A and B are shown apart, each in its own frame.
Chain A
Amino acid sequence: MGRVVLVTGVARDLGALFARTLAGNPEVDRVVGLDVVPPAGDLRGVKFVRADIRTPVVGKVIAVEDVDTVVHMNLGSSNRGSVKETNVIGTMQLLAACQAAPQVRKLVLQSSTAVYGTSPRDPAMFTESMSPRAGVRTGFPKDAVEVEGYTRGFARRRPDAVVTTLRLGTILSPHVRSAFGDYFSLPALPAVLGYDPRLQFLHPHDAIETLRLATLEDRPGTYNVVGDEVTTVSQAARRLGRPLVRLPSVGFTSLTYRLVRQMGSRFTPELSRLLTYGRVADTAALRDLFGYEPRYTTPQTLAEFADGVAPGLLAAVGGHRG
């Protein structure tokens, strides 16, 4: 039996990559891609529908295309004001449409490890059952927590549907644009004075694979998806050969925001807390319950990123590769 998969947020790099991967899969009849803006690249084999997820149009798309699986990848983390609308209201509309459409049998939500928040009271590693220690008050982490809440509500009201929530770590790749990718591409990396947080990175391969498994097979539940092992900001900077610019934690966000704009890039304010306290998630459940072994560890993901971007100013000092 063929399947029809609706993928939201295909204008983003990861969404487009996933939709293309899925379209090449023989088990899937049709992949419908949805976004407000047309994707930059070519969506081979994906039927693109340009629609705003915040409007009831999404329900019509589900009905017309006879969608049975919805992969929601439309959570954005940039600091534009409309993002919250898209994240929260868009998810509510999508879930309402899914609930009204009896043929929808599966929902896969791409969430983020940002739901754990970032604070000095964080445990060394977050498991899926833990909640944020200091709460999440603003921005993308708050959106992600709310979206997960609505998704749990959908799962309660539609017990027949298989709901998988994948909390993806921060993606780092020269080919997929992400907040950390932008950050580590800077010629000099602003870092918080006196803090050297532990970070984890996710290779897009592992992100796509877990999303694909969750879409094609029934693996309900909530899982952390991150690369194993950790690195610190200072270690990552050394491996990339980029100098760190230590700035005081007071006023770090605004100062860095301006500094990064001077360097001609963008800085997501959510990064500044991550650059202070860091965040590490546990992937034991992904291995044992979901049944997927991440292929790339954090250092391997970082090494691949280092190979893909221009060498840093200090690359001659260390010269580490891989």
Chain B
Amino acid sequence: MVDPAAQGADEVADVVPIGTRGRPGRGSRSASPSSAARSLAPAGGARRPGTPRRPAPVDDALRPAAVGEPAAEPDPVVTTAPVSEESFVDDVPPRAAHEPRATTAPRGAQRIPLEELVSALLDGARQVLGEDWERRAAEMVAALRRRLGGDYEIDVFGLDPQVQEILLAALRPVAEKWFRVEVRGADNIPDEGGALIVANHSGTVPIDAAVTGLAVKDHAHRNLRLLGADLVFDLPFVGQLARKTGATLACNEDAERLLRAGHIAGVWPEGFKGIGKPYSERYKLQRFGRGGFVSAAMRTQVPIVPVSIVGAEEIYPLVGNIPSLARLLGLPYIPITPFFPLLGPLGLIPLPSKWIIEFGEPIRTDAYPADAADDPMLVFNVTDQVRETIQQTLYSLLVDRGHPFL
């Protein structure tokens, strides 16, 4: 067996020679390690500066063991009872007894336990994907491959069902656990055919539209096709995601096209006046656009479902606005909330208000004459009727909810 001490010294000496003309390092008068090399050695060695230059061979033999498993050499000062023999580092007999282990242990620790890793991976896969994880993993790989190959369908409005599913899955825990959304009157969403969902808008950021879409998906198993402002489609990333979740521009042509095709379209007629109103005016409905949504529903003879959303007003209480900056950037408003921009990105976390979404009784439009959409008075009356229904429901829901956050 090669003397471990001599071997260790040679190894160190091999590293040092820069500037020493091939002789052992400066720190060694003959062959012992330099001070730099000594400081690299584990704490066990550094702790005893006064040890002889050539210590007992077993002492050095322990060093690699300390590198390999540092926990194997607990601090003797802290250890009150000798739990294991390794505590007695300075004791010769135990060291001698551990000599073979000290030389073999590093090799064992450095080898990667492949079998254990594989079995851990398999266990993990089984836990995440269930018992038939192999089939499911293969399916996931195939789905990813199809996705990367462009082998998926989108509809003419740009709805990408796979992207929509992922976004809804991300939104679901937020809606259920953070906002504790309670959905009422989901039976009022038609099971088939076109319908126009009309709701109040609030919350500075149109999260209420996304949550309503989730509610329609989960409770009626239908896709809510949102009708968004043109600003949405002008913004990078936002417009792209909106299209992929099936949203389209809020204009009569698109609304009628969706409703004729038998989709459920969702419209927030208050628009930016609704989401950008100050916190002090919460739950006060703004003007309902120009009633375009009513004429679209009348032309396509689909029912209007009034939806009242309570809770979205409190997520980002709008206490201020910077109109000049907003004009400069071409945005409808620059929101100031109690936490934004004061807390920076933290201020972007919505407050955990309690939400109630109530789908009201559908207002039928098929009873009106065919040219009703061209009668402005009738359109205004129906618009007011929808608005009044939503406003009254909001008041009663607010009473039901009680404290906004508890």
Q: Which residues of A contact B (CB under 8 A)?
A: 120-125, 127, 130, 192-196, 198, 229-232, 234-241, 249, 277, 280, 314, 317-320
Contact = CB atoms under 8 A, between A and B. Distances in A.
A318 B148 contact: yes
Contacts of B156: 124-125, 198, 229-230, 280
B249 A238 contact: no
Interface string B125-166: 000000000000000000001111111101111101000000
A124 to B, nearest CB: 5
B243 interface: yes
Given A120-B230, A124-B156, A230-B156, A196 B249 contact: no
Contacts of A236: 150
Contact of A239 (B150, B239, B253): B150
B254 A195 contact: no
Interface in B236-257: 236-237, 239-240, 243-244, 248-249, 251, 253-254, 257
Contact of B154 (A121, A232, A249, A319): A232
Interface size class of B (residues with CB under 8 A): 20 to 34
Given A277-B233, A317-B145, A123 B249 contact: yes
26 contacts: A120-B233, A120-B234, A123-B249, A123-B254, A124-B157, A124-B158, A124-B254, A125-B253, A194-B235, A194-B239, A195-B236, A195-B240, A229-B156, A230-B156, A231-B154, A238-B147, A238-B149, A239-B151, A240-B150, A241-B149, A317-B148, A317-B149, A318-B146, A318-B151, A319-B145, A319-B149
Contacts of B251: 121, 123
Residue among B148, B150, B154, B160 with most chain A CB within 10 A: B150
A318 B149 contact: yes
Contact of B240 (A194, A237, A239): A194
A318 B150 contact: yes
Contacts of A237: 150
A195 B249 CA distance: 15
A280 B157 CA distance: 9
A249 B55 CA distance: 71
B149 A196 contact: no
Nearest to A320: B149
Interface of B: 145-152, 154-158, 160, 230-231, 233-237, 239-240, 243-244, 248-249, 251, 253-254, 257
A124 B239 contact: no
Given A123-B249, A125-B156, A125-B257, A320 B233 contact: no
A120 B251 CA distance: 12
Contacts, number: 89
Contacts of B151: 239, 318, 320
A178 B367 CA distance: 51
B243 A198 contact: yes
Nearest to A196: B240
Given A123-B254, A130-B253, 15 more contacts: A121-B230, A123-B249, A124-B248, A124-B253, A125-B253, A125-B257, A193-B236, A194-B237, A196-B244, A232-B160, A235-B152, A237-B150, A240-B150, A241-B149, A320-B149
Nearest to A234: B150
Nearest to A228: B156
B368 to A, nearest CB: 25
A123 B150 contact: no
A233 to B, nearest CB: 10
A45 B212 CA distance: 64
A171 B148 CA distance: 25
Contacts of A127: 253
A133 to B, nearest CB: 8
A241 B251 CA distance: 36
Contacts of B239: 120, 194-195
Given A196-B240, A198-B243, A229-B156, A124 B149 contact: no
B162 to A, nearest CB: 11
B233 A198 contact: no
Contacts of A239: 149-151
Contact of A194 (B149, B152, B160, B236): B236
Residue among A196, A236, A249, A320 with most chain B CB within 10 A: A196
A235 B154 contact: yes
